Amino acid sequence: MNYKRYTRFPQVPIQNRTWPTQIIEKAPIWCSVDLRDGNQALEVPMTLSQKLKYFDFLVEIGFKTIEIGFPAASETEYDFARYLIDNNLIPDDVAIQVLTQSREHIIARTMDALRGAPKAVVHLYNSTSTLQRDVVFNFGKKECIELAVSGAKMIREAIEMDTSRTEWFCEYSPESFSGTEPDFAVEICDSVLDIWQPTKDKKAIINLPGTVEMASPNVFADQVEYFCKNTRWRDRMIVSIHPHNDRGTAVAATELGLMAGADRVEGTLFGNGERTGNADIVTIAMNMFMHGIDPELDFSNMNRVVEMYEESTGLLVPVRHPWAGKLVFTAFSGSHQDAINKGLKRMKQHPDRWEVPYLPIDPRDVGRDYAPIIRINSQSGKGGVAYVLESNFGLQLPKAFQKDFGVVCTDLSDKKHCELKPKEIFELFDDIYVNVKFPYELSGYREDSLDENHVNVEANIKASDKLITIHGKGNGLLDAFCDGIEKVLNRKFSITSYHEHAMESGSDSAAITYVEIEDDQGNKHLGAGISSSVTKSSLRAVVSAMNRMITKEQSKK
C-alpha cells in the first residue's frame, strides 16, 4: 500500500471555535434523500410503485421534507413528481424537494415537474471544490460563481412567473463543499443569496455537502462553523448539512456539524447512498432519543422500518447495525448477560428512569421484545442461562443451580458449535435436574404430626420393579423423609439449601422446588421437583438430588 501518494487534509483557518462546547438539544429539520440520492445508488432503482410506497412510509415516519428525484434527468423521475402532485398524494405540510443543475432547459423542466405541489424546494447545485474546478470544469472561481448565480436568477424568475398554488423554497448546495476553500464557499453562497434575497420570514436553505468525506469529523465541524460565522446572510438562511460516509464517520460529522451551527440534516434511512453511503438518519435520530431528546421521527416499530427499507432497496440491514440490527440488543457474553439480568430486576425500583447495563435504551421503545435480549452460546454464563429460564419459563434458579447449569449449557453449545434455543435449554434443565426417577422414584407418601415440632413420614419408593417403604421421623417433612432414606436405603446426606416458588409460565404444574444436598464426603448435589403440590415437589427434588448423587458415585467406579 503506497501511502505516500496521499496528503493530509488542511486545517480550517478558524479562531476560537465554539462547537466543542455545544450540546445538541433538539432535533434538526430532517430531509430524507432516500428517493434521490439513495435511489440513484441502487443497482436496481425502485419502480414507481416502490417509490410511492416508500414515499408514504417516509411521511408516516414524520419527514416534512422529502427529496424525490432529479426530474430533468429522466422521464421516470419527472413522471414520479407529476404522479404525486396530480393525484394529491402529498400532505399539505410536506415539501417535496428536487435537484437541478444550473442550466436553463434543466431548470425549466424542473419547475414544470413541481408546479401545483403544496410545498416545493428547488435545490440548485454546482460543484465548487478546487479539484472539480480544475479537473472536471477547467475554470476558476469567477466562472464557478457565475454559473451558480445564473442558475439562481433563472429559478427566481421562474418562481416570480408561477401562478400555481405552490409555496416555493430555494436551496443551494456548493457541491463538494468538503473540498472547497472555506472562504470561497462563503463567497459563492453569499452571491447566490444576493440574487434570492431571503428574509427572516422566508429563509433560503444553504446546504453544505460532505460530498466526499475527506477529513475527520472535527474538520467538517470547523468548516460549518467557519461558514456560519462568515456568511453575510446567517440570520436569513437555514444551514443544512449533507455528509457522506467515505471515512465511516458521517454520523459523527453530522452530530458535530449540528453542534457547529447547522439547522437541518439531509440523509437516508440506514445511510444508503453512493460509495459508502450517506449520513444514517436512523442512527442520528436514535442517538438523540437515548439522550432524552424527541427526534421528531417515529422509529417505535423498528422491525417495520427495516422490512420496508429492505423490501424497497434490495439491501440488507446488518445484524449489528446501530439501533436496528437484529442482534444489537442481544448479549451472548456471560458477564454482559449477568449485568443485564440484574439491571432489569433493579428497574422495578425506578421504572420511570431507564438504567440497564449494556442496554442504552429500552428495546421496547423501538418495538423489540425482551425475549431475544439474552441468547446462549459457548460464550454465555450463568446469569444469561438464568435469565432465559426465568423470562421464558418462570424458573428462578438459585445461585448454585445457575453456576452448575451455566457450565452445562456453555459446554453443550461449544460441542455443538451453535446457539441453544430457550426451549432446548428448558428441556435440558428438565432432563438433568427435575423429577429424576432413576434409580429411585417417589411413588407416594403420608405425613403424620407427632407434636408441634415433629412429624412422621411414610413414603413408598420404587427401585426397578421393587416398591420400598420407608419410615422416618424429624422436625419437619424433609427432615423426616431424609431420616427414612438414611435408615432404609443406607444413604446419608443433609439438605444444605432449599428454594421453592410458584411456576409463572412454561408448565402446567403449580410449583417447583430446588434443593442442594451434601453427602458424607462433603460433596454437593442438586435436584429439583415440579408438582401441583408444593409438598410433593419438595420430596421429588430430594429424590432427584439423591439420584444424581448415586449416579455420580457409580460413574466414578
Contact 224, 262 (CB under 8 A): yes
At 504 the pLDDT is: 65
DSSP letter string over 262-318?
--EEEEBGGG--STT-B-BHHHHHHHHHTTT---SS--S-HHHHHHHHHHHHS----
At 181 the pLDDT is: 95
The pTM of the full predicted model, rounded to 2 decimals, is: 0.82
**What is the per-residue pLDDT across 394-450, written as a single tens digit (0 to 9) for each?**
999 999 999 999 999 999 998 998 989 999 999 999 999 999 999 999 999 999 988
Ramachandran region of residue 270, left (φ > 0), alpha (ψ -120 to 50) or beta? Answer: left
Distance CA 127, CA 179 (A): 10
pLDDT at 509 over 80: no
**What is the per-residue pLDDT across 54-76, written as a single tens digit (0 to 9) for each?**
999 999 999 999 999 999 999 99
Q: Return the closest-CA partner of residue 31 out of 116, 84, 95, 99.
A: 95
- Cell numbers found for residue 483: 431420616
pLDDT at 335 over 60: yes
> At 508, is the pLDDT very low, low, confident or very high (cuts 50, 70, 90)?
low
**What is the per-residue pLDDT across 199-212, written as a single tens digit (0 to 9) for each?**
999 999 999 999 99
Exposed e or buried b per residue across 94-132, where buried means at least 16 C-beta atoms within 10 angstroms of its C-beta: bbbbbbbbbbeebbebbbebbbbbbbbbbbbbbbbbeeb
If you compute the radius of gyration of the chain from its CA atoms, what whole number of angstroms results? 35
Please name each of the domains of the chain with its CATH number.
Answer: 26-313 (3.20.20.70), 334-432 (no CATH), 440-556 (3.30.160.270)
* Number of other CB atoms surrounding residue 359 within 10 Å: 20
Contact 344, 358 (CB under 8 A): no
Distance CA 549, CA 552 (A): 5
pLDDT at 328 over 60: yes
The torsion angles phi and psi of 447, rounded to 5 degrees, stand at -115, 135
